[in-house]
Structure 1
Amino acid sequence: MHASTDFGPNADDVAAIWNLRETLLAQNWPDSETIGSILGLTANAHAESKATSDRGNEDTPMFGVWAGRDRGGYRYPPFQFLKSGLVHPQLLELMEALARQPGLHPRYDKSGWERAFWLYQPRKRLSVQALELRAAKLKEVQENPERFATLANDARTPAEVFSDDCLAVIDLANEDADQLTCDVSVLGGGA
């Protein structure tokens, strides 16, 4: 009997990935033209944003995913925009934290979809209860455990939480990167 060493995605994994991609695109994220008109850029907002990022300009670059030419080119998940339409000032810090994970670095995730999947994957660590417990002092929890026990414990996506608690999302991205670094070191892949 031959043991399989193929760790690649199987057909069900690929179908689930495409299903999530289609679900996200069905939310009708704005395209470059729409974003450009909001921010006062040309129709090619993604190229202008990338050029800004490449120059090291202080302006915050936008995060986009490639949806294909037939779907308007780049699409921009709305989590990164403030109610005013401007790009969230902490977006760059989040993108830098995500880039610490090899598979989420823009050099390898050219289409942006791996980062989008990370951003739209529900995480228990971002539940209302988890965030409140993390922010509370031990004494607060000990004196009023009922308050924390009644808080919602439903997993939420980083994209869902970013506008209200961007630092929790950035911390999660950094913790994921640290865990990957630790795993590589344990496996003998580290320096």
Structure 2
Amino acid sequence: MRGNRVLLGVWSATRGRFLYPDFQFNDDGQLVPEVSVLLRILPADADADADDAGWRRAFWLYSPHALLDGRAPSSIFALDPLKVLEVATAEFNVSSDEGW
């Protein structure tokens, strides 16, 4: 699932394994369906190396964001995944011609 961008795993070198951020799961432990959409939007270019795997996306997800009133996307994903998808799309799916 991680390789197919359905589930975010973050490589922990000290533990020698991937960790799976909790925002991806509902209260029943089921994967939130919008996670795969979010992972297709978030850039993963720096995540190709096993030592960096997942960290760029994790930092974005757990950092305060101005378009979310200073809240981290991960903190509101369970409540409003569509809002997080909207913010991610606004930030990462910008056309290279948009500034012209």
TM-score in same-fold range (> 0.5): yes
Runs of 4+ displaced beyond 2 Å: 184-187
Q: d(CA) in 1 for partners of 2:79 and 2:11?
A: 26
Q: 2:10 maps to what in 1?
A: 65
Match of 1:94 among 38, 42, 53: 38
How far has the Cα of 1:96 moved from its partner?
A: 1.1
- Kindly, what percent of the aligned residue pairs are identical? 33
Q: d(CA) in 2 for partners of 1:88 and 1:164?
A: 11
Q: d(CA) in 1 for partners of 2:66 and 2:87?
A: 11
Q: How does 1:66-85 map to 2 (within 5 A)?
A: 66-68=11-13, 70-85=14-29
Deviations 1:137-162 (CA, angstroms, capped at 9, x unpaired): xxxxxxxxxxxxxxxxxx10000010
How far has the Cα of 1:72 moved from its partner?
A: 4.5
Gaps of 5+ in 1: 1-48, 54-59, 99-103, 128-154
1:108 aligns with 2:43: no
How far has the Cα of 1:71 moved from its partner?
A: 1.4
Q: 1:178 maps to what in 2?
A: 93
CA root-mean-square deviation: 2.1
Q: 1:152 maps to what in 2?
A: none
Greater Rg over alpha carbons, structure: 1
Q: How does 1:31-50 map to 2 (within 5 A)?
A: 49-50=1-2
Cα gap change, 1:121/1:50 in structure 2, threshold over 3 Å: closer, same or farther? Answer: closer
Deviations 1:70-109 (CA, angstroms, capped at 9, x unpaired): 31410011000010001101101111111xxxxx22x432
Q: What is the TM-score of this pair, normalised by structure 1?
A: 0.45
- The structure richer in helix per residue is 1
Q: What is the TM-score of this pair, normalised by structure 2?
A: 0.82
Deviations 1:28-57 (CA, angstroms, capped at 9, x unpaired): xxxxxxxxxxxxxxxxxxxxx235x2xxxx
Equivalenced residues, count: 96
Gaps of 5+ in 2: none
